[in-house]
Amino acid sequence: MREKITLDYSVLNKLTQSFGPSGREESIRRLLISLVKDHCDEIICDRLGNLIVHKKGPGKKVLVAVHMDEIGLIITNVDPKGFLRYSAVGGLRSRDLVHTRVRFENDVYGMISKETDIYGEKKLEKYYIDSPAIEACSQDLIGEMAVLFGPYNESKDRVIAKSLDNRAGCFAAVEVLKQIQSRDDLYVVFTVQEEVGTRGAKIAANVLQPDLAIVLDATIADDFPENKNCTIALGKGCGIKVMDRSIIISPEIREWIAGIAREKQIPFQWEILDKGGTDSGPIHLAHGGILTGGISIPIRHIHTPGEIADKNDIQAAADLLYALLNTSEASERKT
164-219 confidence digits (pLDDT tens): 999 999 999 999 999 998 889 999 999 999 999 999 999 999 999 999 999 999 99
Ranges of each domain in the chain: 9-70+162-334, 72-148
At 107, the amino acid letter reads D
Backbone angles phi, psi at 122, to 5 degrees: -105, -5
Which H or E run includes 104?
strand 101-104
Spatial separation of the C-alpha atoms in residues 8 and 172, rounded to whole Å:
10
Q: Taking the C-alpha atoms of 171, 173, 174 and 179 in order, what is their torsion angle to the nearest 10 degrees?
A: 130
At 106, the amino acid letter reads N
Residues in binding site: 67, 165, 195, 217, 303
CA-to-CA separations, 256 to 36, 99, 189, 259, in angstroms, rounded: 28, 46, 22, 5
pLDDT tens sequence across 110-169: 999 988 755 555 566 689 999 887 666 667 789 999 999 999 999 999 999 999 999 999
| HSE-CB of 127 using CA atoms within 13 angstroms | 25
Spatial separation of the C-alpha atoms in residues 279 and 196, rounded to whole Å:
11
Spatial separation of the C-alpha atoms in residues 271 and 294, rounded to whole Å:
9
Residues in binding site for Zn(2+): 67, 165, 195, 217, 303
Q: Which CATH architecture has domain 72-148?
A: Beta Barrel (2.40)
pLDDT tens sequence across 27-79: 999 999 999 999 999 999 999 999 999 999 988 999 999 999 999 999 999 98
Q: Which residues are catalytic?
A: 194
pLDDT tens sequence across 236-292: 999 999 999 999 999 999 999 999 999 999 999 999 998 889 999 999 999 999 999
CA-to-CA separations, 219 to 137, 145, 228, 301, in angstroms, rounded: 36, 25, 19, 10
Q: Does domain 9-70+162-334 have CATH number 3.60.10.10?
A: no
Instruction: Say what the pTM is.
Output: 0.94
